[in-house]
Structure 1
């Protein structure tokens, strides 16, 4: 008896659920003032479509003189409504944001102010649009900033972390790389980040095989080949094209320059041999020191058998020696650094300057900035970057600036 009663209750409950779900899938007829629907019904089934148009002097709150709406799980894809023909529907402005009206349209005379997405800026400094007679006047345009950066560089064996993919990055953006398992960053300062500066990405890290992983190794030898061997705790190049002379019994190698001595390795370490008349450390071919040193924000401009020549990226200045050599003990000579050599000017921080975002100026160079209009006359200020500091002239017209009167 109890089982039969329970079954009856479940049947009633299940039937009620089905009816509720069925009812939820239907849409009621929308209330449309100043227009008419086709077809006109009391209810519309799920995924059914209706078409509507508006009376003279009115128009749909979407694009076109007629519109369609679809019933989706009890709701219309957009609520049909007819608005004054002088009102405006929301404009489509790529790469921009603005305050949207809840009712989905704007009255005549309404003004909107747009904000460009990061990495974009207003073209011609135009940021507002006004609804006049059903049309938006002078719709602003957000164009890619000249200071923004595109897709970041792809680094072998590394991925960018904590950042979704995008095509444009604002100036000063920072992206961090992470090496895949078995690899590690080998860099003087250990940095894993790159920065967007003046439209270009700074030099990224390099992921190299982590020592002890067994994923690979390096070959070190003379000009004609050979490999590294060790006897006891020292390291010595094995015989190759320029190795040990047969029969010497030294168990080491001879390394030297044109006028220098040589280095022998036996058992416990490396010792300079007697002879030669050199006054400084002996050098070897750069290939004997392995991979070139990494200079952040710099790169190897020239690779010679006897030296490496470096240069810095845009907006950076080389400090230290331009060339680097390989010493006979397998170490590099002093490595240069790349120092920041630019000024960053945020025009919003200067009341006399018109908004133009952040501008980057190389050290020793000048850039002309437009000033806020006074008495309807366009004026400019000359900004100059000197040792990382900016100086500005007062706001003058072009003639005054060109003739150094200002």
Structure 2
């Protein structure tokens, strides 16, 4: 065998022996908010690093598995993108505050905007720090003026001022005596330039019965003595009706609904009851008999 062939054989043998004992590096682990790209963890291969959108690589972008089975570089870190303060002037009517503690806003952080009164906010009140280091759309503040508020039937407005009303200003309503306020006490100037829902004054009810014993506010009372002026809206009177078969009484409710009052059909006019020895209200309750 020629010397040249002998040398080539020895080199090939050495290469095979070395390859059989090639060092393998340990699993590098996970890169938080990023990815590791690789084909093999053994010498002399490389691994590459990249970060998810919204994060910046801090450290080396590659690492090589060395002969000693160690990586040439430690894992880098993926740091979140930082957003600068939003474009709000120092003396602007548009204010903001961070929704989590700290003085720095990073990717996916949120801030909440508000306007100084009487300005109203138009647009999204929440802005998000985006992957490109910019804030999502910033809202604007506009002046809003509502027309003079209108009154309500059978009611009035407290301290109505003869001036323009602005966003979030309120007026308070009340009702005339015997009428009941139904709905919100206040109406507010909204950003639409209109007032929020006004209340309604509901009318009282006269009781279309001359004589009767009824249950009112959990007490037995005479209509002709205690309820001559009727009842207010939403109040309930319980009438006593007679079960002729069992000779007992049962209660049926009647409710005042904005001036309308209907006496239960089972109730007998008191003029007929005058001929009875016992008032229906004094009969034993039917539930105690059953």
TM-score by length of 2: 0.30
Which structure has more RCO (C-alpha within 8 Å, separation ≥ 6)? Answer: 2
Q: Which has the larger radius of gyration?
A: 2
